[in-house]
């Protein structure tokens, strides 16, 4: 029986100590260099040498001010603040690599689709089609204090906005410019045939975008679409729009339930359930021997920041964990933030009564995903078990220290995965979508919802 291919992204953020609060003080950690473009170029080259499929860059608009009711802990601990724009990193990394993909997190809640669509098309051109968009609706209410969006931050409303946001983007990317609109005829002095460029005339509940897309068609037109919502409404949105999804769950049970529901929802949308690729959060701690790996893990764990971890958890869940005693047990609480986080934790360990301290230690390395400690063979075994038992397609690998965690994985685990035939030996040519799905098809599948906006720009005026 042929083994299922494993897809791999590195998971990072344009900040310090992305998912491992406190570990930025480790002597080998380089995340404090996040302001240096040289750091990002070096990382991209490590990942491409390791045959990673992509670099998945997270982002947040706002700060983690739930813990203690203010910014103090987040700012002191560098809990995803300071944080820079992820999109500006890509040009330099793409220039230094040939195949690595780049997943950019951008929110539909805080940015207008017209200008956003231009930025993504520009990147798709400059990278020759290696761009993905991680669609998020944002969960930090602190962001709304600085960008006035009225009463639009309720969970369901954010996804209604996102749905129309995608419609606008599809019309701009797929329907505004015909494939042969750009003729570059120097003899006649015609660069673009104006008859083949169309206003989209979008007039919706949230957006009015009457004009044309500002960019000519890029290699993929629409970037590869990721989505990272774990709630029920998030999964329905992903089943409708996403090509890839990202889940952060601590155990196989919660992961399997997510994948099963997602694929069911995709079938309801008329899509092939297996056409969606699911990436799970995972943090590898690898050593050449088991003893070396566990020694490394214990040493890394000694740098975990208790308050830094809780400031992240408070922001993700909406629960102010500063009000809890470290040894107090916690239960699932409904919030307007990431509703699934605490629920998944309790489901993955139904007989375990979690204390605040245990939760902080669990999340202190790699966030809310599993941590695997062992030799390259043991790490590879674990990855294959997750693929086989949960029906996921790959992993977003978080780091304990950077680029050390990624370099260890590339140097030690990738060769073992290649030996087993589950990770590619070499990259194939083509766009990111072709590398992830099917050679010769750089654009979204004809079964995707965006296809109805394809090559019909001339009909927009008639609606």
Write the CATH number for 18: 3.20.20.30
- Higher pLDDT pick, 332 / 61: 61
Q: Binning pLDDT at 50, 70 and 90, where does residue 431 land? A: very high
C-alpha closest to that of 205 among 164, 240, 159 = 164
Residue 347 confidence (pLDDT): 63
Cβ distance 293 to 380 under 8 Å?
A: no
Three-class DSSP labels, the chain:
CCCCCCEEEEEEECECCCCCCCHHHCCCCCHHHCCCHHHHHHHHHHHHHCCCCEEEEECCCCCCCCHHHCCHHHHHHCCCCCECCCHHHHHHHHHCCCCCEEEEEEECCCCCHHHHHHHHHHHHHHCCCCEEEEEECCCCHHHHHCCCCCCCCCHHHHHHHHHHHHHHHHHHHHHCECCCCEEEECCCCEEECHHHECCCCEECCCCEECCCCCCCCCCCCCCEEEECCCCHHHHHHHHHHCCEEEECCCCHHHHHHHHHHHHHHHHHCCCCHHHCEEEEEEEEEECCCHHHHHHHHHHHHCCCCHHHHHHHHHHHHCCCHHHCCCCCECCCCCCCCCCHHHHHHHHHCCCCCCEHHHHHHHHCCCCCCCEEEECHHHHHHHHHHHHHHHCCCEEEECCCCCCHHHHHHHHHHHHHHHHCCCCCCCCCCCCHHHHHCCCCCCCCCCCCHHHHHCCCHHHHHHC
Query: What is the rounded CA–CA span in Å between residue 132 and residue 124?
Result: 9
What residues contact residue 262 under an 8 Å CB cut-off, 6+ apart? 235, 238, 239, 245, 276, 278
C-alpha closest to that of 385 among 297, 374, 69, 151 = 374
Paired sense of beta strands 208-209 and 224-227, if any: unpaired
**Does a structural domain hold residue 62?**
yes
Tell me the per-residue pLDDT of 372-427, one tens digit each, with 9 for 90 and over: 999 999 999 999 999 999 999 999 999 999 999 999 999 999 999 999 999 999 99
Query: What is the rounded CA–CA span in Å between residue 98 and residue 129?
Result: 11
- Higher pLDDT pick, 345 / 374: 374
Count: domains in the chain:
1
- Higher pLDDT pick, 143 / 198: 198
C-alpha closest to that of 228 among 242, 251, 245, 244 = 245
Enclosing domain of residue 416: 7-303+369-462
Tell me the per-residue pLDDT of 103-143, one tens digit each, with 9 for 90 and over: 999 999 888 999 999 999 999 999 999 999 999 986 666 55
Cβ distance 97 to 128 under 8 Å?
A: no
**Does a structural domain hold residue 437?**
yes
**Does a structural domain hold residue 342?**
no
C-alpha closest to that of 255 among 413, 393, 355 = 393
Does 55 have pLDDT greater than 90?
yes
Residue 339 confidence (pLDDT): 46
Query: What is the rounded CA–CA span in Å between residue 118 and residue 321?
Result: 41
**Does a structural domain hold residue 334?**
no
CA angle, 114 as apex, 113 and 117 as ends, to 5°? 75
Does 166 have pLDDT greater than 70?
yes
Average pLDDT, the chain: 90
Place of tokens 């299922």: 4
Quick one: average pLDDT of 236-242?
93
Query: What is the rounded CA–CA span in Å between residue 428 and residue 97?
Result: 14
Residue 332 confidence (pLDDT): 54
**Does a structural domain hold residue 204?**
yes
**Does a structural domain hold residue 314?**
no
pTM: 0.93
Q: Binning pLDDT at 50, 70 and 90, where does residue 463 land? A: very low
b/e string for 24-39 if b means 16 or more Cβ within 10 A?
bebeebbbebbeeeeb
**Does a structural domain hold residue 219?**
yes
Q: What dihedral angle (degrees, nearest 10) is formed by the CA atoms of 29, 33, 37, 41?
A: 0
**Phi and psi at residue 193, in whole multiples of 5°?**
-80, 110
Query: What is the rounded CA–CA span in Å between residue 77 and residue 63?
Result: 12
Tokens for 208?
A: 């009015």
**Does a structural domain hold residue 266?**
yes
């Amino acid at each position: 029986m042929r083994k299922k291919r494993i897809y791999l992204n590195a998971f990072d953020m344009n900040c310090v100590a992305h998912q491992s609060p406190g570990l930025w003080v480790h002597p080998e950690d380089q995340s404090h260099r996040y302001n240096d473009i040289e750091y990002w170029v070096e990382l991209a080259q490590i990942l491409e040498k390791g045959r990673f499929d992509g670099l998945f860059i997270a982002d947040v608009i706002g700060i983690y001010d739930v813990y203690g009711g203010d910014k103090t802990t987040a700012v002191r601990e560098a809990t995803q603040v300071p944080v820079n724009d992820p999109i500006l990193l890509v040009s330099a990394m793409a220039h230094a690599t040939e195949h690595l993909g780049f997943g950019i997190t951008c929110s539909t809640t805080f940015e207008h689709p017209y200008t956003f669509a231009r930025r993504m098309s520009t990147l798709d051109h400059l990278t020759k089609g290696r761009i993905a968009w991680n669609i998020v609706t944002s969960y930090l209410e602190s962001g709304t204090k600085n960008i006035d969006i009225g009463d639009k931050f309720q969970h369901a409303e954010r996804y209604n906005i996102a749905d129309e946001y995608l419609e606008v983007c599809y019309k701009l990317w797929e329907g505004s410019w015909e494939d042969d609109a750009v003729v570059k005829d120097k003899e006649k002095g015609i660069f673009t045939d104006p008859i083949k460029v169309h206003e989209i005339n979008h007039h919706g509940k949230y957006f009015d975008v009457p004009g044309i897309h500002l960019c000519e068609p890029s290699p993929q037109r629409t970037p590869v679409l990721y989505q990272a919502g774990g709630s029920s409404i998030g999964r329905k949105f992903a089943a409708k729009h996403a090509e890839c999804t990202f889940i952060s769950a601590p155990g196989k049970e919660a992961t399997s339930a997510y994948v099963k529901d997602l694929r069911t929802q995709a079938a309801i949308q008329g899509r092939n359930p297996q056409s969606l690729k699911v990436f799970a959060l995972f943090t590898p701690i690898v050593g050449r021997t088991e003893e070396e790996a566990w020694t490394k893990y214990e040493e890394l764990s000694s740098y975990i920041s208790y308050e830094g971890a809780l400031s992240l958890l408070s922001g993700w869940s909406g629960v102010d964990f500063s009000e809890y005693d470290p040894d107090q047990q916690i239960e699932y609480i409904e919030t307007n933030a990431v509703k699934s986080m605490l629920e998944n934790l309790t489901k993955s360990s139904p007989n375990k009564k979690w204390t605040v301290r245990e939760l902080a230690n669990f999340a202190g390395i790699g966030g809310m995903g599993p941590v695997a400690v062992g030799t390259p063979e043991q790490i590879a075994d674990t990855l294959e078990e997750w693929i086989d038992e949960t029906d996921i397609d790959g992993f977003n690998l978080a780091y304990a220290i950077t680029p050390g965690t990624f370099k260890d994985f590339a140097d030690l685990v990738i060769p073992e995965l290649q030996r087993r035939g589950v990770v590619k030996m070499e990259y194939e040519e083509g766009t990111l979508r072709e590398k992830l799905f099917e050679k010769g098809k750089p654009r979204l599948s004809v079964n995707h919802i965006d296809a109805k906006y394809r090559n019909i720009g001339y009909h927009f005026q008639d609606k």
